[in-house]
Structure 1
Amino acid sequence: MSFSDLGLHDDLLRAVNAQGYTQPTPIQQKAIPVVLEGRDLLASAQTGTGKTAGFTLPMLQRLANGKRPGKRQVRALVLTPTRELAAQVGESVAAYGQHLSLRSHIIFGGVGQQPQVDALRHGLDVLVATPGRLLDLHQQGHVDLSAIEILVLDEADRMLDMGFIHDIKRLLRLVPKQRQNLLFSATFSNEIQTLAQQLLDNPALIEVAPRNTTAEKVEQAIYRVDRDKKRDLLAHLIQRHNWFQVLVFTRTKHGANRLAVQLSKQDIPAMAIHGNKSQGARTRALGAFKSGDLQVLVATDIAARGLDINELPHVVNFDLPNVAEDYVHRIGRTGRAGSNGEAVSLVCIDEHGLLKNIERLINQTLPKHVEPGFEPDPNAKPEPIENGRRSQRPPRRRKQDGPSTNTGGERRRRSRR
């Protein structure tokens, strides 16, 4: 099957061809015709399966075919949980819509809002946004959502995990009742199914990968090691195997900063990316990593869903996540779109219970290794995991918590991610 078989316009096919794509992925084959029909959609697919094009291409075609409102109002809204994912989706909208007379813009916190306000003033067809900054701008009277024709919730499960459910409900009250709704999620959790029942009208259901499965082309391995030897083991593995473009996940922001400094001292270029970094610093670090100038990018889970890096070869769990599903999201950064990848986890005695939870979730027993010179102490005792989430559910937000009104436009989160 080719993209032309899906009923896409020539202008969109030209843009797809310019991106180097010739055959649609399974999620694109299933989603594009449904969206073109105007139906609501509930779709589950692993990261890296091409789902962004799966909703972006038909969305652009429907907008190009439709009638614009009297004044240039926002017609399609794509909500994402993170700034990085918003930027990725916005880039896709611009690339695929390059031959169409449609305007689009990206809105997120961490940067000055005036360019975003100016873009809204001139009118937009497609708005890609994170919930916090979007609500800020609406409260200031800068954005009108009363003409929305298509609403997309991308990475909806991560949106709920990050505590955005109340923001989503507020935004739903601002958009027309008659609209097309597209909900994309990596998993079909009970919370996602509840949200779908509230949001979607007789949706088509697409599930490309079984729930909570890991990418087939990702080679996974566990290295047992003492907690105080993890940093040295990571540096050893990177240097011994000559790894480049290594995405490393830590449990806390402080841990990410500390690890990046340690690796840099061992002549391994590394930078950290997490919620406390300014948007400029995050953009620079990600740009250097994508270009190959930066060997290691150390990230907290906020980056697990928002990074789009072609053919990323290595993901390392320096700390295992406390929530087993996050392991699936993390290693989904590699082995994307048919390429091979490697996911390595450094596991100390404190994390044996977390490892069992992960193996139970993915229904696999992962291969265990011990690197010579880094053998774990057989007499070591487990210690409580610092700053880890013990619950599978995110903490409830206090009633007084609301969208930030600072220039960052994003809520300051109490989590250590």
Structure 2
Amino acid sequence: MKELLLKGNVILEDAIHEDAVIRCVDGRIATIEPHAREHEGKGLLDFSGRYLSPGFVDIHVHGGAGADYMDGTVEAVRRTNIAHARHGTTSIFPTTTTGSFAQLDAMVKACENVQASWTPADGARIAGIHFYGPYFAADKVGIHASEGRRDPVREEYEYFLGREIIKIATCASELPGALDFFDHARERDCFITCGHSNACWDELEAAFTHGMRHVDHFWCAMSSVASLRKRFGTPMQAGMEQYVLANPAMSTEVIADGIHLSDDLLRFAFRLIGPRRCCLVTDANRAMDMPPGQYRFGSQADGSWVWSDGHSVRGDDGSLASSMHGMDRMVKTMAKAIEQDLPAVIRMASLTPAELTGIAGEVGSLTPGKRADIVVLDESFEVERVFIGGEPLPVADARPDQAA
């Protein structure tokens, strides 16, 4: 029996248990107890004054530390997963971009290989793949390479969604064949999302009846009243924002890096959508933890060129190109924006995405029986230590070098 004892301010689902001890046995949480004398001398790791948080769960992430999942190599997958673990992410959903069938296939196979041989030294555990690109609307591709965008191809998506590792499936709701895609994804028990879309209310409603329950990165590359007026003219149409706000069965996500969305918008999302329907994602690319410079978004071979200034990543036209920050940055920014309720902010980075993707029985909260995925945060929400399945990330890797 391998035992691990951690003392600190334990962040529970709806409260903070100060000066408590998390007892972990064989990689799982056994109990959460008030600190007592009997804990001393038993190898107790004392993080008094710091927070003990559940490991973060990132359902939308492309790369980091100079690598992108679409590079399609085991080395790129491991490099990215280790980088995100340093920022507190312990469960991760590698996310595809637009690209060729061969590039998507290489990405999936590399992730399968890493998942099958995973150890804590490999960083964040792959909980599944987010099949995100290539089924985007032509007018909402964003920084993704437009050459790799296409409408749903049945033979292609049946092949990919047939892979056990794929757990999240995205398609723009207005595309020809989107509803058939959603039907097949529902049969495969995927979490179904609409992203990079210029869909109107009726198209979203149709998608909802076919299993779609989530829209990606709220306010980014999504339909709006203004974009739908360009598409339909008048009368003006409701889009993804209005649909999510009006439908309590829908969820969404925000990139809380302090660059994509203002504090006002983050507060809006928290108050009107709430921490049970809105999660934090990084949407990070390979520029995370790298110096300023030019990088490929997507495959190193032919992904779109983007430029990092050390704070943000942008395309040729100055538009934002996903994020270059880890989940710790998202937590810190969200906590500052709402100035209250730390357990709710942590939920947005852990339990909410775990619930949405069906893995909350194993991860997402500091609950007895769950995996001992634990992040130690200081008072400024900087990552001090990370434990994955009760195993510590090496101390030298626990606090990332900051690119900004």
TM-score normalised to structure 2 length: 0.31
For the pair shown, which has the larger CA radius of gyration, 1 or 2? 1
Q: TM-score, normalised by structure 1?
A: 0.30
The structure with more helix, counted as a fraction of residues: 1
